[in-house]
């Protein structure tokens, strides 16, 4: 692996006097002298990063995890989407929001929340101004942290953009219109809206810590960097277990198919479309990139684009503004309201759901969010003109304790600005 060849040290890297990215630049050019330095003298993140197995992204811990989440492009095939000449300004407010809140019988501060939940980046924007911005885990404003399933909400927005551009007629079209390879499979008869609402017909295992689960099989395909169509082939083998559009159940494979549908409809990879429709015209501050399903493959619509914390907040601002970028309406009129309505069918055994078009509904009609399994989120509260962007590295995926603390922190912010 290329990264392994680069992990050699210099005195600056040994001393810990440089940041993570500066150290990498030094390591890359260290030459013979650097290669003679014992691995034990490297910073902890460098010692462990060289052993990362890309197929085990969901199983990483500690500094391996932190390194991977901030350096996805060094481990996986990716494709960049780029910023434009101008930047959407996010000026800082005159004073920073001071958050203190009670949770589980004790008082918390912002710093304590960030430490406990392993927060790498936090940006809170109220009425277009940054009222709170902090970084942790050795990261900074330039770090491009991976989104995990926050990407699903971006994929959903690209479906909307493709409808606005008349590449896709409507969410009621069959998925096989754009992916004929799915004819005769479990997805034959499914419509785009079924997948947007996570209510497809297929058998799927979304167990993050089960090595052979479907979602981990997708990551293994990505890590292998070969067989461009392997992921779509995997989807064609899934069995039908229910009528399409009848039950809401979280399945990343459906979001992946949505990405393939958009790519087929527009006749292009997703990243150039992100550049054209959102990143460049809205005024993002930095380039981003998106994990691919294989070398030269489609962007993985179910997860893992990478961007800075401020640009995640800007994506929230784009949605808050109804999908307008550069003075143009990028998303169809009414799309945001439709996409963020809790319209998905009930879950198994009649469980109520709060899900729209790849968005989680925090409070019907008042707040919604994009969510990643290790504590990433972009929370949008339209009536408060509020966007909360959090990038984290929870110790395990979907830990309830971390989730409850994050919810309490977000609620404290909403209360503070009320």
Q: pLDDT > 90: what percent of the chain? A: 84
Task: Answer yes or no: is pLDDT of 13 > 50.
Answer: no
What was the pLDDT predicted at 360? 98
What was the pLDDT predicted at 226? 76
Task: Answer yes or no: is pLDDT of 41 > 80.
Answer: no
**Coil, strand or helix: which one is 367?**
strand
Which strands make up the sheet holding 145-146, listed edge to edge? 78-81, 288-291, 305-307, 145-146
Q: What is the mean pLDDT of residues 172-178?
A: 98
How far apart CA 318 and CA 83 sit, in angstroms, is 14
Q: How do residues 275-324 score in pLDDT, each as one tens digit?
A: 999 999 999 999 999 999 988 899 999 999 999 999 999 999 999 999 99
Taken in order 7, 12, 13, 15, the sign of the CA dihedral is positive
Task: Answer yes or no: is pLDDT of 221 > 70.
Answer: yes
Task: Indicate the average pLDDT of the chain.
Answer: 89
Multiple choice CATH, 145-166+269-417, 3.30.70.580, 1.20.120.80, 3.40.710.10, 1.10.10.60: 3.40.710.10
What was the pLDDT predicted at 395? 96
List, in sequence order, every residue forming a beta bridge with 240; answer none if it has no partner.
202
How far apart CA 310 and CA 143 sit, in angstroms, is 10
Of 183, 38, 62, the C-alpha closest to 118 is 62
Residue 312 sits at φ, ψ, to 5 deg, of -60, -40
Reported as a pLDDT band with limits 50, 70 and 90, residue 50 is low
End-to-end CA distance of the chain: 50
Beta carbons of 242 and 201 less than 8 angstroms apart: yes
How far apart CA 379 and CA 240 sit, in angstroms, is 34
For the record, the structure tokens of 120 come out as 């790498």
Distant-in-sequence, close-in-space partners of 41: CB < 8 Å, separation ≥ 6: 9, 14
Of 397, 373, 304, 393, the C-alpha closest to 76 is 304
Tallying the residues shown for the chain, one arrives at 418
Task: Answer yes or no: is pLDDT of 11 > 80.
Answer: no
Q: What is the mean pLDDT of residues 339-346?
A: 97
Task: Answer yes or no: is pLDDT of 44 > 50.
Answer: no
What was the pLDDT predicted at 225? 87
What was the pLDDT predicted at 388? 98
Q: How do residues 98-147 score in pLDDT, each as one tens digit?
A: 999 999 999 999 999 999 999 999 999 999 999 999 999 999 999 999 99
Q: How do residues 237-269 score in pLDDT, each as one tens digit?
A: 999 999 999 999 999 999 999 999 999 999 999
Q: Is 378 exposed, middle or buried (0-12, 13-18, 19+ CB in 10 A)?
A: buried
What was the pLDDT predicted at 37? 30
For the record, the structure tokens of 182 come out as 């799915």
The radius of gyration computed from the CA coordinates of the chain, to the nearest angstrom, equals: 21
For the record, the structure tokens of 286 come out as 């930095």
Q: What is the mean pLDDT of residues 358-374?
A: 97
Q: What is the mean pLDDT of residues 353-372?
A: 96
Domains of the chain, by residue range, sit at 1-51, 145-166+269-417
Reported as a pLDDT band with limits 50, 70 and 90, residue 188 is very high
Beta carbons of 193 and 187 less than 8 angstroms apart: no
- The Cα-based distances of 181 to 109, 193, 218, 229, 344 in angstroms read 52, 19, 18, 11, 26
């Amino acid at each position: 692996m290329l990264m392994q060849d680069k992990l050699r040290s210099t005195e600056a890297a040994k001393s810990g006097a440089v940041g993570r990215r500066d150290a990498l630049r030094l390591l890359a050019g260290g030459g013979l002298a650097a290669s003679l330095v014992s691995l034990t003298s490297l910073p902890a993140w460098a010692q462990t990063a060289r052993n990362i197995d890309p197929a085990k992204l969901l199983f990483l811990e500690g500094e391996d995890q932190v390194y991977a989440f901030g350096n996805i492009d060094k481990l996986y095939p990716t494709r960049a989407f780029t910023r434009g000449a101008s930047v959407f300004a996010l000026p800082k407010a005159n004073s920073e929001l001071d958050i203190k809140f009670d949770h589980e019988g004790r008082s918390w501060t912002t710093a304590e929340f960030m430490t406990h939940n392993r927060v790498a980046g936090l940006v809170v924007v109220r009425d277009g101004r940054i009222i709170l911005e902090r970084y942790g885990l050795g990261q900074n404003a330039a770090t491009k942290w991976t989104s995990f399933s926050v990407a699903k909400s971006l994929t959903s927005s690209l479906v909307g953009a493709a409808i606005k551009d008349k590449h896709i007629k409507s969410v009621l079209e069959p998925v096989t219109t754009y992916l004929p390879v799915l004819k005769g499979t479990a997805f034959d008869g499914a419509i785009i809206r079924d997948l947007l609402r996570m209510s497809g017909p297929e058998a799927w295992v979304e167990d993050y810590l089960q090595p052979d689960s479907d979602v981990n099989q997708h990551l293994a395909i990505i890590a292998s960097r070969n067989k461009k169509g392997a992921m779509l082939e995997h989807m064609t083998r899934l069995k039908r277990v229910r009528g399409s559009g009848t039950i809401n159940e979280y399945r990343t494979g459906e979001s992946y198919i949505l990405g393939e549908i958009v790519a087929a409809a527009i006749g292009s990879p997703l990243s150039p479309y992100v550049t054209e429709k959102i990143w460049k015209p809205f005024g993002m501050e930095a380039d981003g990139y998106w994990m691919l399903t294989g070398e030269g493959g489609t962007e993985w619509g179910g997860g893992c684009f990478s961007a800075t914390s401020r640009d995640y907040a800007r994506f929230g601002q784009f949605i808050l503004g109804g999908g307008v970028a550069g003075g143009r309406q990028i998303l169809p009129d009414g799309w945001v309201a439709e996409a963020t309505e809790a319209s998905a069918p009930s879950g198994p055994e009649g469980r109520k759901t709060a899900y729209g078009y790849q968005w989680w509904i925090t409070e019907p009609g008042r707040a919604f969010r994009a969510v990643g399994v290790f504590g990433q989120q972009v929370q949008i509260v339209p009536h408060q003109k509020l966007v909360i962007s959090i990038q984290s590295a929870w110790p395990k995926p979907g830990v309830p304790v971390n989730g409850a603390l994050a919810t309490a922190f977000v609620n404290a912010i909403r209360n503070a600005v009320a």
